[in-house]
Amino acid sequence: MATVTGTLADFGRANLIDLSPELLFYPEDTTTSGSYLLMANKPVSAVIDIWGNWTVSLEPTESMSPRRYYKLRIRCRDVSGGFVYADFPDWKLYVPPAGGNIAALLDTPLDTGWVWVIDGGSDPAAARSGDLLFDSSTDNLYRL
């Protein structure tokens, strides 16, 4: 199993623990890994501490046949504790055997507004994972 980690917060980076958050990881579809048949209908829940840091142990996607990815669902309660709301990010999570931080593992939709043109040298400091870079000195186009 691979360990995936992260921190859950709102856009002000405030802790959400008072909303009883749940992070649920759903495999894309049923698959196999070694001698195991892995069913996709039961999510794997992350363990969230009081600061919003979380960990989850997931089957590495590289060992799956056919290869699958995970989908994420985030559920929280409103402040009164009644209504449950959910977020369904349109992300594909591929998990290597070593695991890692979720931000480094996501295959997120492209932000089509970011293509960087460089003339040799290093990548721009503001460039993000998934951005396209075109090196005009070599005519090389690549993704970070």
pLDDT tens digits along 81-100: 666 777 888 788 999 999 99
Asked if 9 and 65 sit in the same domain, the reply is: yes
Asked if 26 and 72 sit in the same domain, the reply is: yes
> Nearest CA to 54 among 21, 87, 90, 89?
21
Asked if 15 and 77 sit in the same domain, the reply is: yes
Asked if 82 and 130 sit in the same domain, the reply is: no
CATH number at residue 77: 2.60.40
- Dump the DSSP string for 69-100: -EEEEEEEE-TTS--EEEE----EE---TT-E
Asked if 12 and 48 sit in the same domain, the reply is: yes
Contact (Cβ atoms closer than 8 angstroms) between residue 28 and residue 71: yes
Task: Look at phi and psi of residue 40 and say left if phi exceeds 0, alpha if psi is from -120 to 50, else beta.
Answer: alpha
d(CA 19, CA 135): 46
Asked if 115 and 61 sit in the same domain, the reply is: no
Asked if 74 and 129 sit in the same domain, the reply is: no
Q: How many folded domains does the chain comprise?
A: 2
Whether the full predicted model's pTM is greater than 0.75, yes or no, is no
Asked if 97 and 79 sit in the same domain, the reply is: yes
- Reported as a single tens digit per residue, the pLDDT across 10-69 is 889 988 888 888 899 999 999 999 999 998 888 999 999 989 999 999 999 989 999 999
